[in-house]
C-alpha cells in the first residue's frame, strides 16, 4: 500500500499531503473499501492544497479517484464546515444541477479520521486562480468568457426548485439575512482583535440597512471563481462547483453579492479578496450583474446589490480573521494562514464604503 504520492505524480491542482495534515490512512482506506462500491487496487493520497479551510484530499484506489473532505483541525465556528449538510446537498442536487459533484458516502464516526467526512466523486478539470490556463489561450477573450460562465452557473443554481430535488427543508428563507448578520457578528466576537473594531461597525450598519425581502432559492453561500471548475480547454461553461458545506435556502442576491465582493474593479481602492484575480481579464461587475439578470429574467443593476456586496465583503473579512486565528492558536500548519489577518480591516472599510451608497429599504428584486 502506498500512502502518499510523490510530487512528480502530482497535478497542478494536487500536491503531496502537507506536513501536519496527515490523517489515519489505514482507517480511511478500510472505510472507503467497505462503503464505496467497486474499489480494487493500491491506495494512495494527494491533497488539494490551495483551499484555506476544509481539508480536501484526492484518494486513489486502483483506477478510481475519490474526493475526501473533512473540517479543519482545531476550533470550528458553530454551523461552519458542515460535512453532513454538504453530503445532503450533493446527494440530491446533481439530479437537476449537473455542476454539483455526486456525493458517495458520509462518515459521522469521528474515530475514523478525527471528524465527520464526506466522500464524493472526483471530477477532472481546471480551477482558475490568477491566470488563464494555457489550454484556453486559443480562445479569444477567454477571461471574459470565464466570468460570464460563472455568472450563468450561479443563475442556473438559483433557478433550481428546492422541492423538486428534495431540499425544500434545507434552510429557513424567512429571516435569512437577519440571521446572517447576527450569526457573523457572533463569529467575529469569537476572533476579534484590538485595532479591527471597524468589523463590528460594519455589522451594525448592515443590520440598520437590512433589505426588506425574502426568497427561498438554494444558495451556495461562498460562490466564487476558485470554487468553480472548467474543462481544461473550455472557458464558456462551468463544469463543476465545489465547497457546499454552507449551502442553504435564502436570498439568492447574497450569493451574487459574495461573488461581486471577490470580483476585481478597475480603479477600486482597498484590499482584494482574491489577489491575482485582476489579471484574468474578467468582465466588469456591471456586465456580471447584467448576465446573471438576463439568465434569470430579472430587472437588476449593480446599485441594487451594494448591501449584498458589503455583506459578502464583511463575511470575507471575518473568514480571513478566523483563518488567521487558527494559525495563531497553532491549529494550522499552513503558512498562508499566518498572512490572512492582514487585509481584514481594509476589507471591512471597503464594506463601509459600499454601504454609504445603500438606500434604506430599496426596491424588491425577486
pLDDT tens-digit series, residues 295-353: 999 999 888 999 999 999 999 999 999 989 888 888 877 888 888 888 899 999 999 99
Nine-digit cell string for 203: 455589522
pLDDT at 10 exceeding the cut of 60: no
- The lowest-confidence range among 25-39, 45-59, 188-202 is 45-59
Class for the domain spanning 134-355 = alpha beta
Residues 6+ away with beta carbon under 8 Å from 227: 220, 241, 242, 243
Nearest CA-CA partner of 241 in 123, 81, 92, 159: 123
Residues 6+ away with beta carbon under 8 Å from 15: 7, 46, 47, 49
CA gap 110, 183 in Å, rounded: 26
189-244 pLDDT per residue, tens: 999 999 999 999 999 999 999 998 768 899 999 999 999 999 999 999 999 999 99
Residue 256 — pLDDT band, cuts 50, 70, 90?
very high
What is the overall mean pLDDT for the chain? Answer: 89
Residue 285 — pLDDT band, cuts 50, 70, 90?
very high
Arithmetic mean of pLDDT, 44-52 = 86
CA gap 222, 13 in Å, rounded: 20
Q: What is the dihedral of CA 112, 116, 118, 119, to 10 degrees?
A: 10
Angle, helix 306-328 to helix 252-262, in steps of 10 degrees? 70
Burial of 34: CB neighbours in 10 Å, binned 0-12, 13-18, 19+: exposed
Residue 269 — pLDDT band, cuts 50, 70, 90?
low
Same fold, 7-121 and 134-355: no
CA gap 353, 307 in Å, rounded: 10
Nine-digit cell string for 113: 479520521
Residue 15 has what pLDDT? 92
Burial of 231: CB neighbours in 10 Å, binned 0-12, 13-18, 19+: middle
Cα dihedral sign for 254, 68, 331, 78? positive
Residue 1 has what pLDDT? 35
pLDDT at 150 exceeding the cut of 70: yes
SS3 (DSSP) at 230:
strand
Considering only CA atoms, give the Rg of the chain: 20
Residue 168 has what pLDDT? 96
Cα dihedral sign for 96, 98, 99, 103? positive
CA gap 314, 205 in Å, rounded: 11
* 75: number of Cβ within 10 Å: 12
Residue 75 has what pLDDT? 67
Residue 5 has what pLDDT? 38
Cα distance between the two ends of the chain: 54
Q: In what order do the strands lie in the sheet with 64-70?
A: 43-47, 55-61, 64-70, 117-121, 103-107
Nine-digit cell string for 96: 437537476
Sketch the domain layout of the chain as residue ranges.
7-121, 134-355
CA 342 to chain centre: 21
Residue 7 has what pLDDT? 34
Residue 339 has what pLDDT? 84
Percentage of the residues of the chain whose pLDDT score is greater than 90: 74
Q: CA separation (Å) from 364 to 162, 177, 180, 209? A: 21, 14, 19, 14
More confident residue, 79 or 196: 196
CATH architecture entry for 7-121: 2-Layer Sandwich (3.30)
Amino acid at each position: 500500500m502506498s500512502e502518499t504520492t510523490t510530487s512528480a505524480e502530482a497535478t497542478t491542482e494536487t500536491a503531496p499531503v502537507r506536513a501536519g495534515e496527515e490523517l489515519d490512512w489505514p482507517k480511511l482506506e478500510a472505510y472507503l473499501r467497505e462503503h464505496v462500491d467497486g474499489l480494487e487496487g493500491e491506495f494512495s493520497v494527494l491533497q488539494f492544497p490551495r483551499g484555506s479551510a476544509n481539508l480536501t484530499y484526492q484518494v486513489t484506489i486502483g483506477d478510481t479517484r475519490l474526493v475526501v473532505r473533512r473540517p479543519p483541525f482545531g476550533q470550528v465556528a458553530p454551523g461552519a464546515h458542515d460535512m453532513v449538510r454538504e453530503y445532503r446537498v450533493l446527494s440530491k442536487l446533481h439530479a437537476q444541477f449537473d455542476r454539483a459533484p455526486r456525493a458517495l458516502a458520509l462518515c459521522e464516526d469521528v474515530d475514523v479520521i478525527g471528524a465527520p467526512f464526506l466522500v464524493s466523486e472526483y471530477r477532472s478539470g481546471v480551477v482558475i486562480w490568477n491566470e488563464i490556463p494555457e489550454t484556453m489561450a486559443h480562445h479569444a477573450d477567454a477571461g471574459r468568457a470565464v466570468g460570464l460562465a460563472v455568472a450563468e452557473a450561479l443563475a442556473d443554481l438559483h433557478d433550481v426548485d428546492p422541492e423538486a430535488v428534495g431540499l425544500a427543508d434545507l434552510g429557513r428563507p424567512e429571516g435569512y439575512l437577519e440571521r446572517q448578520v447576527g450569526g457573523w457578528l457572533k463569529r467575529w466576537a469569537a476572533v476579534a482583535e484590538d485595532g479591527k473594531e471597524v468589523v463590528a461597525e460594519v455589522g451594525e450598519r448592515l443590520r440598520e440597512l437590512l433589505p426588506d425581502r425574502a426568497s427561498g432559492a438554494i444558495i451556495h453561500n461562498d460562490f466564487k471563481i476558485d470554487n468553480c471548475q472548467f474543462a481544461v480547454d473550455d472557458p464558456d461553461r462551468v463544469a463543476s462547483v465545489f465547497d457546499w458545506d454552507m449551502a442553504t435556502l435564502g436570498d439568492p442576491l447574497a450569493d451574487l453579492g459574495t461573488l461581486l465582493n471577490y470580483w476585481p474593479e478597475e480603479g477600486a481602492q482597498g484590499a482584494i479578496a482574491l489577489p491575482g484575480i485582476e489579471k484574468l481579464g474578467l468582465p466588469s461587475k456591471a456586465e456580471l450583474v447584467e448576465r446573471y439578470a438576463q439568465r434569470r429574467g430579472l430587472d437588476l443593476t449593480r446599485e441594487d446589490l451594494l448591501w449584498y456586496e458589503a455583506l459578502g465583503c464583511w463575511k470575507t473579512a471575518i473568514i480571513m480573521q478566523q483563518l488567521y486565528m487558527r494559525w495563531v492558536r497553532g491549529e494550522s500548519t499552513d503558512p498562508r494562514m499566518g498572512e490572512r489577518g492582514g487585509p481584514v480591516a481594509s476589507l471591512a472599510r471597503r464594506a463601509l464604503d459600499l454601504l454609504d451608497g445603500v438606500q434604506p429599504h430599496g426596491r424588491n428584486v425577486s
